[in-house]
Amino acid sequence: MPHNLTFHDKITTIERHFLDEQKAHPEATGELTQILYDLALAGKMIASKTIQAGLADILGATGSRNVQGETVQKLDQFADETIFRLNDHTGRLACMASEEQDELIPIPEKYPKGRYVLLYDPLDGSSNIDVNVSVGSIFAIYRRKTPEGTPGTLEDCLQPGRKLVAAGYVIYGSSTMLVYTTGNGVHGFTLNRMLGEFLLSHPNIKMPAKPKYYSVNQAYEPYWSPGVLQYVRWLQTGENNLSLRYIGSLVADFHRNLLAGGLFCYPADRKDPKKPGGKLRLLYEAAPLAFIAEQAGGYATNGHSGILDLEPTKLHQRVPLFIGDKKLAEKAEEYIAKFDK
């Protein structure tokens, strides 16, 4: 039986869930609901391609033409274009930003500009696809700050996570799931491929009180600060009784820790001088996942302060990330404050 569902529970589609949630906000225009619905549709479209990824070699490698004569795209390019094309013409967005695009993505001149801003990582961990490891899409939605009807600007994108109106991810794994929050709890939906419907399978997700895992790339140990090293050593003690699980795919690691209880960290390291602040991105990776983590009873920090309180300055800025179990994440701030002068 799926997680915490019993036989007689009603069947709720994601559309029905979005509409029920919208009822709780009488002032809602339905625009945010529609954006979420379009992102669920994007998830279905990307899922349909990820399950064929392994066949690219047979059906045609990236950039070549497959047996149907279609040009085979890199999956992350396909995911990026799918999310853009589902949202560029709807009149619900002022602008977008994607991990795949260096600059802010304007809404084409011919289309109306809306009240929201969508930031997304279309396919995080795409290098894992070739070895059949779960990957995911991550999205963050803000209300615009600049005047309605005008093209969105960087100011609309560079907002702290506290201002998020919605955040979520789609994980393409043994099953396809969409997990999201609008600040009223975290809810998970599993894709029924036969119906093409996301069905509510994980209502009101809360991180278990007793965490089971910690996730970090131990190979970077020689490049960590003293505080991070002491913190990870503490995670490994019998006091925490944790197992190490590290998939190397952020959404997969985060999702496992969300459901089973655990702490994921990608600390700053001295390994790559170009990435002194860790590898992961603030706007469309750390902040949306931090919103979900906090709504599920967890916490996310850069080792000094809450991820959701950080004021972004650049679209693709990186940030050290300790996210998941609240007590374990808070401890990272203690160790770094104590050992990193």
List interacting residues with ligand P6P (CB under 6 A).
124-125, 127, 217, 248-250, 253, 279
Distance in Å, CB of 142 to ligand P6P, minimum: 22
Residue number with CB closer to ligand P6P (193 or 275): 275
Give the amino acid at 130.
D
Distance in Å, CB of 316 to ligand P6P, minimum: 12
Distance in Å, CB of 152 to ligand P6P, minimum: 26
Residue number with CB closer to ligand P6P (47 or 135): 135
Distance in Å, CB of 253 to ligand P6P, minimum: 6
Question: Tokens representing 90?
Answer: 């709807």
Residue number with CB closer to ligand P6P (167 or 250): 250
Cα–Cα distance for residue pair 129/310, rounded to 1 Å = 31
Distance in Å, CB of 90 to ligand P6P, minimum: 29
Residue number with CB closer to ligand P6P (80 or 124): 124
Of the chain, the end-to-end C-alpha distance in Å amounts to 50
Residue number with CB closer to ligand P6P (104 or 323): 323
Residue number with CB closer to ligand P6P (68 or 174): 174
Distance in Å, CB of 303 to ligand P6P, minimum: 16
Residue 259's contacts (CB-CB under 8 Å, 6 or more residues apart) are: 3, 202, 205
Paired strand residues for 237 = none
DSSP tag of 309: G
Give the amino acid at 250.
L
Distance in Å, CB of 269 to ligand P6P, minimum: 9
Residue number with CB closer to ligand P6P (18 or 284): 284
Distance in Å, CB of 266 to ligand P6P, minimum: 6
Cα maximum dimension of the chain: 61
**Helices H / strands E in the chain, number of each:** 9, 13
Cα–Cα distance for residue pair 195/199, rounded to 1 Å = 10
Q: Which of 72, 64, 15 is nearest to 39 (CA)?
A: 15
- H helix intervals, 110-262: 154-157, 226-235, 250-260
Residue number with CB closer to ligand P6P (249 or 302): 249
**In this structure, are residues 207 and 325 in contact, taking their beta carbons and an 8 Å threshold?**
yes
Dihedrals phi, psi of 61, to nearest 5 degrees? -80, 170
**In this structure, are residues 152 and 162 in contact, taking their beta carbons and an 8 Å threshold?**
no
Cα–Cα distance for residue pair 228/240, rounded to 1 Å = 16
Distance in Å, CB of 20 to ligand P6P, minimum: 32
**In this structure, are residues 75 and 126 in contact, taking their beta carbons and an 8 Å threshold?**
yes
DSSP tag of 140: E
Residue number with CB closer to ligand P6P (117 or 247): 247
